[in-house]
């Protein structure tokens, strides 16, 4: 027998069943198919998911910051600006529990909070928590240098108001999110607010930006806002009101200064005020912009309008004599004057502020005529200057007036107005009968007004208003050095509950210089106590201060005689080389 | 390999290398631009801060204080003013 090798021995040949190899082949094929399907899935329909994952690792969307617009005064001086600040955030799950006491102490110091307070904040459940917002950049830098893990800094803006209290009610303020809350900041929010942009970038392993993919949205900085306010005039008006309120132990005060030619509001001052730079003062009474949001009975400051109507109708002339008497019986309570007068001319009715005289003039006109004139002068209508909360005051429809209403409305009772409306109404005397449209945004061109009374009446009224500030008038204290001024005092009983108590409001509304009125100023002092409460004693001196300083600031030529005053015509060259020791004021023609 | 292929290959290589170089340059320029933009923002902020500081130093309240108390000046009055009218 031929020897058989081990490997070829037929006895050892295993005959495997055919199905096993087939099965193997099928399984292998099946698994490969699965792999193929999976690969197809990843490359094809399921690709978006993986792509997104890949992008997430390398691409970021970053914010492009945009800043809020500045608010500037008429001379381009900044009155509100946004500066970069940081907010300090703690990511509480990253902050180590065994943070050294020294570091906690220095962090607490930098954040100006107590150590225990800080520790409590770090223990809170929330994942991330603002430790402090609007931190100065220098402080933020120091916090960064502490290198505490889990303490991060975020960019944000903080609003600064360099003029502080003096301008507070005009500009208002923003909240921590940089959104306007009061004043111009609120009413011009749309234009002032910046809109941050967004861009997509590629970052490397360390998070550094290496490429910009796309700008998804361009950042839009807020627009700057140019107000008509003059910081200097605002400041002096605020100070004049503040001093008067303090001197007369009054509750509050306000003043408005208007440019009669352009209709621009040069100053709008309120006291008490607040510092908008400090958040802790941003609540309560002092936020009220009394000049615009408080309405009150204007008292005698209403008389010039009533007398204008009588003049306008040609019923009387400024020198027409009228019998006044001690009492005028109309309605439930007789009308009286502070001093009884026998006979007064119409001009003297204004000069002495006679209630009886005014009421008698009013009773010769119809309620509708009175109502029409008051309405044309803006009473009962909110000023449209885009200020939040500006009130309209009340002027009841003339059909509801009974005769005693008509007589009292004539001298400013039973009608209410804001100080701002009152100032606006006085522009008709300054502008030869035209009511000037007012604006709080800078627009230094002459504005045409709407005619309310004739130029003749307005000029006559200016003459009468001037006599108020002359000897024999109710407001000698309104005189301003160098300038002829005119105006009307007002002292109104305040309504307390249902009747009039012993509380007063003192007003003065007027214009200057009389020869060519440039400004209208209205002043209100609320509840003066201790000493006189009359408009002529309390509000008129404020008017005087504001007028003389404002006209000086505006380089207006004095129209009253003053000692030593020299007026010379000079060329610019001569002005420059003029060798005079006195102050030079160059007046542009 | 004929000559044309060789030339094309060399060209391809040159292209590939210059692409790499260009990308590198683009990246560098981009970084420089980024840095410049950050600098611009910083300077802008600095300008705003300086403007604010200047405003703070020139605000009416401070000017009045300094003029009255340090420089012993008094407010001007029409009495002591010489009015000059500019003629052209």
Q: How many CB atoms lie within 10 A of CB A278?
A: 11
Q: Report the pLDDT value the prediction gives residue A568, as an integer from 0 to 100.
A: 55
Give the mutation candidate from B84, B86, B87 for the A interface (greatest A CB count, under 10 A): B84
Residues 61 through 120 of chain A touching chain B, CB cutoff 8 Å: 65, 77-78, 81-84
* SS3 per-residue string spanning A441-501: ECCCCCCCCEECCCHHHHHHHHHHHHHHCCCCCCCHHHCECCECCEEEEEEEEEEECCEEE
Q: Report the pLDDT value the prediction gives residue A473, as an integer from 0 to 100.
A: 86
Token pair listed for A132:
């402090």
Candidates A510, A511, A504, A514; CA nearest to A538 is A504
User: Which residue from B minimizes the CA distance to A234?
Assistant: B60
- Nearest CB neighbour to A162, from listed B45, B48, B52: B52
B86 vs A231: CB contact, 8 Å cut-off? Answer: no
The nearest CA of chain A is from the CA of B8 a distance in Å of 32
Please tell me what DSSP assigns to residue A70: P
Please tell me what DSSP assigns to residue A531: S
Residues 472 through 491 of chain A touching chain B, CB cutoff 8 Å: 481-483
- From first CA to last CA, the distance across chain B in angstroms is 91
B48 vs A211: CB contact, 8 Å cut-off? Answer: no
The nearest CA of chain B is from the CA of A477 a distance in Å of 17
Summarize the confidence of residues B59-69 as an average pLDDT. 87
* H helices present in A250-302, as ranges: 290-293
User: Which residue from B minimizes the CA distance to A76?
Assistant: B55
Peptide bond into B52 cis (omega under 30): no
Residues 541 through 560 of chain A touching chain B, CB cutoff 8 Å: 548-549, 552, 557-558
User: Which residue from A minimizes the CA distance to B48?
Assistant: A83
Q: Report the pLDDT value the prediction gives residue A575, as an integer from 0 to 100.
A: 57
Mean pLDDT, contiguous 10-residue spans, chain A (589 residues):
72 79 94 94 85 80 86 91 86 76 82 82 78 81 82 84 90 87 90 89 78 86 93 93 93 94 94 86 81 89 93 90 87 85 90 91 91 92 84 89 88 91 94 92 90 93 92 88 90 76 88 92 91 87 92 86 55 58 53
Residues 2 through 21 of chain B touching chain A, CB cutoff 8 Å: none
Q: Report the pLDDT value the prediction gives residue A110, as an integer from 0 to 100.
A: 82
Q: Is A207 on the interface with B (CB under 8 A)?
A: no
Give the mutation candidate from A66, A74, A78, A233 for the B interface (greatest B CB count, under 10 A): A78
Q: Report the pLDDT value the prediction gives residue A589, as an integer from 0 to 100.
A: 44
Candidates A90, A222, A218, A69; CA nearest to A154 is A90
Buried b (16+ CB within 10 A) or exposed e, A203-223: eeeeeeeebeeeeeeebebbe
Please tell me what DSSP assigns to residue A163: T
The nearest CA of chain B is from the CA of A578 a distance in Å of 10
The answer to whether A271 and A525 have CB atoms below 8 angstroms apart is: no
A-B C-beta contacts closer than 8 Å: 117
A570 vs B87: CB contact, 8 Å cut-off? Answer: yes
Q: What's the sign of the alpha-carbon dihedral A323, A329, A331, A335?
A: positive
- ipTM for the complex? 0.79
- Nearest CB neighbour to A575, from listed B30, B77, B86: B86
Q: Is B49 on the interface with A (CB under 8 A)?
A: yes
Q: How far is C-alpha A37 from the geometric centre of its chain's CA atoms?
A: 68
Give the mutation candidate from B64, B85, B88 for the A interface (greatest A CB count, under 10 A): B85
Distance CA B55, CA B70 (A): 20
Beta partners for A526? Answer: A252, A505
Q: Report the pLDDT value the prediction gives residue A329, as an integer from 0 to 100.
A: 86
Q: How far is C-alpha A550 from the geometric centre of its chain's CA atoms?
A: 21
Give the mutation candidate from B35, B46, B59 for the A interface (greatest A CB count, under 10 A): B59
Contacts with A584 from chain B: Cβ below 8 Å? 81-82, 84
- From first CA to last CA, the distance across chain A in angstroms is 144
B51 vs A557: CB contact, 8 Å cut-off? Answer: no
**Coil, strand or helix at A187:** helix
Q: Is A236 on the interface with B (CB under 8 A)?
A: yes
Q: Report the pLDDT value the prediction gives residue A379, as an integer from 0 to 100.
A: 92
In order of A232, A435, A581, the CA distances from A451 in angstroms are 32, 6, 46
- Nearest CB neighbour to A587, from listed B76, B77, B85: B85
Q: Report the pLDDT value the prediction gives residue A584, as an integer from 0 to 100.
A: 55
Q: Is B88 on the interface with A (CB under 8 A)?
A: yes
The nearest CA of chain A is from the CA of B56 a distance in Å of 6
- For tokens 């509050």, what's the residue? A252
Rounded to 5°, angle at Cα A162 from A159 and A166? 115
User: Which residue from B minimizes the CA distance to A482?
Assistant: B78
């Amino acid at each position: 027998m031929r020897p058989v090798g081990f490997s070829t021995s037929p006895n050892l040949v295993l005959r495997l069943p055919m199905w096993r190899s087939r099965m193997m082949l099928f399984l292998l094929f099946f698994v490969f198919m699965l792999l193929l399907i999976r690969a197809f899935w990843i490359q094809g329909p399921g690709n978006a998911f993986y792509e997104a994952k890949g992008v997430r690792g390398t691409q970021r969307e970053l914010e492009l910051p945009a800043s809020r617009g500045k608010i500037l005064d008429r001379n381009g001086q900044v009155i509100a600006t946004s500066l970069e600040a940081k907010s300090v955030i703690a990511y509480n799950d990253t902050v180590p529990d065994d943070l050294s006491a020294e570091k906690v102490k220095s962090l607490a110091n930098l954040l100006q909070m107590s150590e225990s307070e800080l520790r409590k904040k770090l223990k809170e459940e929330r994942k991330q928590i603002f430790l402090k917002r609007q931190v100065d950049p220098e402080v933020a830098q120091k916090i960064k240098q502490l290198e505490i893990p889990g303490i991060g800094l975020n960019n944000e803006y903080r609003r600064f108001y360099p003029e502080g209290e003096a301008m507070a009610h005009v500009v208002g303020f923003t909240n921590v999110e940089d959104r306007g809350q009061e004043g111009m900041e609120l009413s011009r929010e749309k234009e002032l607010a910046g809109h941050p942009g967004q861009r997509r970038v590629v970052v490397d392993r360390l998070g550094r930006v290496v490429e910009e993919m796309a700008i998804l949205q361009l950042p839009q900085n807020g627009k700057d806002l140019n107000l008509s306010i003059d910081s200097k005039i605002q400041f002096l008006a605020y100070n004049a009101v503040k001093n008067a309120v303090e001197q007369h132990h009054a509750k509050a005060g306000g003043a408005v200064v208007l440019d009669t030619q352009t209709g621009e509001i040069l100053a709008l001052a309120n006291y008490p005020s607040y510092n908008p730079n400090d958040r802790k003062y941003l609540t309560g009474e002092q936020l009220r912009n009394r000049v615009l949001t408080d309405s009150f009975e204007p008292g005698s400051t209403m008389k010039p309008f009533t007398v204008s109507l009588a003049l306008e109708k040609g019923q009387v002339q400024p020198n027409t004599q009228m019998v006044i008497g001690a009492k005028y019986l109309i309605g439930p309570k007789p009308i009286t004057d502070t001093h009884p007068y026998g006979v007064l001319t119409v001009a003297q009715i204004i000069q002495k502020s006679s209630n009886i005289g005014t009421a008698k003039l009013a009773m010769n006109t119809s309620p509708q005529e009175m109502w029409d004139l008051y309405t044309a002068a803006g009473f009962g209508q909110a000023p449209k200057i885009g200020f939040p909360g500006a009130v309209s005051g009340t002027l009841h429809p003339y059909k509801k007036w009974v005769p005693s209403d008509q007589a009292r409305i004539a001298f400013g009772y039973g009608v209410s107005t804001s100080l701002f409306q009152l100032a606006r109404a006085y522009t008709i005397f300054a502008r030869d009968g035209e009511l000037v449209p007012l604006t709080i945004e800078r627009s230094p061109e002459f504005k045409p007004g709407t005619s309310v009374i004739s130029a003749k009446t307005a000029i006559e009224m200016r003459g009468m208003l001037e006599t108020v500030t002359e000897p024999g008038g109710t407001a000698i204290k309104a005189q301003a050095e160098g300038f002829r001024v005119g105006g009307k005092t007002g002292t109104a009983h305040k309504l307390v509950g249902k009747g009039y108590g012993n509380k007063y409001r003192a007003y003065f509304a007027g214009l200057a210089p009389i020869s060519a009125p440039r400004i209208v100023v209205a002043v209100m002092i609320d509840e003066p106590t201790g000493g006189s409460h009359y408009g002529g004693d309390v509000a008129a001196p404020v008017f005087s201060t504001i007028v003389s300083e404002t006209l000086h600031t505006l380089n207006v030529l004095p129209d009253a005689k003053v000692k030593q005053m020299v007026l010379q015509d000079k060329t610019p060259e001569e002005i420059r080389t003029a060798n005079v020791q006195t102050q030079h004021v160059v007046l542009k023609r | 390999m004929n000559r044309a292929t060789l030339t094309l290959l060399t060209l391809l290589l040159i292209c590939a290398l210059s692409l790499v170089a260009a990308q590198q340059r683009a990246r560098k320029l981009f970084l420089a631009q980024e840095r410049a933009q950050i600098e611009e923002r910083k300077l802008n902020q600095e300008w705003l801060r300086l403007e604010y500081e200047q405003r703070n130093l020139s605000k009416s309240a401070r000017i009045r204080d300094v003029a009255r108390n340090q420089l012993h000046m008094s407010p001007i009055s029409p009495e002591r003013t010489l009015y000059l009218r500019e003629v052209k």
